[in-house]
Structure 1
């Protein structure tokens, strides 16, 4: 079966690319290995910069109706320090949070309405070239078949191991960061506040999402997490995360006092911050596999959506078929860097400060004395940077 484009992964990056291409008459197949709705390790906040893009993708009205409250303040919880400052406002509005179990489903449904062929649950297991086309071998249950297209787009994220040429090799280092996420009901977080959490060995964030759920997400160093588990009798990683964050951040303990866990803790990783090739070995990349910021700046969803839009614009401009892909790839990579490189550098700096014991102490003192530094950090992280074409 031949399409104009095959997209591997149906998260925000894959779905935004698929919808934009289908809206311009492309025949698109999107392969997703997991059935939706699904929960996922993610901070769930989306900046106001992407609101116009959501409208273009046909999901803005649903998102506004279901997402949590507008986030008007950015906060800081670390040790005994609690601080807050105004969240910088984008021209299109303030950001809000919607659970990935709902957001991904809404985007997938929009892709289906746009005419995208959805293969789910279905896993891409191999990619190989057939003349001017590329073939993706997909597997559903015990059945395999090949899909062919001139354009292959990897949107499977950077955490997933596998043998596809776009997937990253696994490494194991003490400094690796692993992500954890949980929802709570009945938490005492101010609805319009999104605090940054900084604690020994990691960092995180909290935000009020849909249906009053408070989402807490954290990144932990591998070696620190291993030491905590051993110290407390080899307890489960999620239990170590919860106990450590509550003990290290008075603000978190206050917010979660009396709250109930809504579903189990999730874990994923290690994360791979940095800029990678947006086009390599004939495969285009969007979302985390193209480049990944430290989650400390809460820009993952916005970057995923916007990277899909940036790539779709370049592919539409180059036309269907297999001509001009190399130039489209180069244009996309340049656009990607212009749009996201500043926030990647900002995230790396903030994460480095948060993870170093001495720097963490200085960070607390600076934020306590000059809380406006939080507003500056949010601005540097891309909270007000417009999306090209809007």
Structure 2
């Protein structure tokens, strides 16, 4: 066992929320540790789109130029693909500083984005413990002790204790665990399971990001970096079981990556349920394996509980139907970093910081969480796809309005 290491803050999880928070705190002179269980670069089940309102924050993080050099094309149109219906409308624009001309978001693969942010945090002075898993968080006087387990056969027993007054959960919400900040494991037929793949050679218009609605689920497509098309979706557990049972004997498609019972069944379901998907992927090639994760846990949670702060999906998440997951992760970390900047480090100070941070979080995100829940509920309801399709056929600008309500044009407090 290694001797305890003391920091000002310990961040558990190195996704966009965790690394951006660590980066912001390290730039303010904090001694920060990041604990991440996986080696980078690694791919994630994620839609990968970042709204233009985040560009000022990326610049504040000093990764904006690199992000611009690698991200996919500007997304100027939002679409709706369901059955034979393919409808498009303008993406709502906005003026963000700097520079004002960048009014539209773009997509960058999580394998590149997460690595970029982690390297920036390392350069700012954050200490990275990777690959390591946080296995417990306990009070230790006026500090907290985080026990981490290294995934390294050459590190002895691999156990290290980190101590800090501030501990931040940035580990997401999909994976259950023993930490007090992690959600318990549940299993329901209505659970939504996530799937994700990249394709090359797809024919989707480069400035279009369509919403996909199909029986039992929803998803999206966007052109990301290096010509890769990113397609991600959520499907109900009971629908997936039905597809695996009824379609397991159908011939394989090389784009299924050899998983006819799970990802392959979802892929066939998408291809047969959305003409826009089958058209876009006609002749496309799978780039890397299909990924699966979940179930997703949409909802608003406590931003500070058991003396642990939460950011990203650990604090709360919207249904991914509105493609705001990365945006909410980055922005939640900005809110917490702002509150922590001059806060006292004792328990009473942390509690006051937690209350202010939770109020700021809900003020910025609650509307989009509720709007996403309403839209997802309608999409998943029997006949919901037809109802939404009829609405957007008669009023295509409803797609623009929906994108606006999802927060894609809302400025981040303190970055104007």
TM-score bucket (shorter structure): over 0.9
Query: Whole-Å Cα distance in 2 between the matches of residues 43 and 317 of structure 1?
Result: 35
Q: After superposition, give the CA deviation of every residue in 1:50-92 in whole Å (9 maximum; x if it has no partner).
A: 1000000110000000000000000000001000000011322
Alignment of structure 1 residues 120-159 onto 2, 5 Å: 120-141=130-151, 142-159=157-174
2:58 is aligned with 1:48: no
- Normalised by the size of structure 2, how large is the TM-score? 0.93
Query: Structure 1 regions of 5+ residues with no counterpart?
Result: none
- Three-state SS of the structure 2 residue aligned to 1:197 is strand
- Helix, strand or coil for the counterpart of 1:198? strand
Question: Partners in 1 of 2:345 and 2:316 — Cα distance?
Answer: 25
Q: What's 1:275 paired with?
A: 300
1:169 matched to which residue of 2?
Answer: 184
1: CA distance, partners of 2:314 / 2:148: 20
| Corresponding position: 1:71 with 2:75 | yes
Matching residue within 334, 337, 343 for 1:312: 337
Structure 2: segments with no counterpart, 5+ residues:
97-102, 152-156, 250-259
Give runs of aligned pairs for residues 244-255 of structure 1, distance below 5 A.
Answer: 244-255=269-280
Contact kept, 8 Å, 1:79 with 1:250, in 2: the verdict is: yes
**1:118 pairs with one of 116, 120, 128:** 128
Alpha-carbon separation, structure 1, partners of 2:27 and 2:177: 31
Q: Distance in 1 between matches of 2:294 and 2:130?
A: 23
- Cα distance, 1:322 vs. partner? 4.8
Q: Does 1:22 align with 2:26?
A: yes
Aligned to 2:211: 196
Aligned to 2:253: none
* Residue correspondence of structure 1 range 68-107 to structure 2 within 5 A: 68-92=72-96, 93-107=103-117
The answer for the alignment partner of 1:327 in structure 2 is 352
CA deviation string 1:121-157 (max 9, x = no partner):
1111111001100000011134101000000000000
Aligned partner (choices 343, 368, 389) of residue 393 of structure 2? 368
Which 4+ stretches in 1 moved above 3 angstroms? 319-323
**Structure 1, 75-84 or 227-236: larger mean CA deviation:** 227-236
Q: What CA distance in whole angstroms lies between the structure 2 residues aligned with 1:89 and 1:53? A: 17
Give the TM-score normalised by the residue count of structure 1. 0.99
RMSD: 0.9
Equivalent residue for 1:239, pick from 264, 269, 272: 264
**1:353 Cα offset (Å):** 1.0
Structure 2 counterpart of 1:287? 312
Is the contact between residue 82 and residue 368 of structure 1 (CA under 8 Å) also seen in structure 2?
Answer: no
Q: Deviations along 1:308-346, whole A, 9 cap, x unmatched?
A: 110011011314455510000000000000000010011
Q: For structure 1, which segment, 315-324 or 186-195, has the greater mean C-alpha deviation from structure 2 after superposition? A: 315-324
Equivalent-residue separation in structure 1 for 2:13 and 2:179 (angstroms): 13
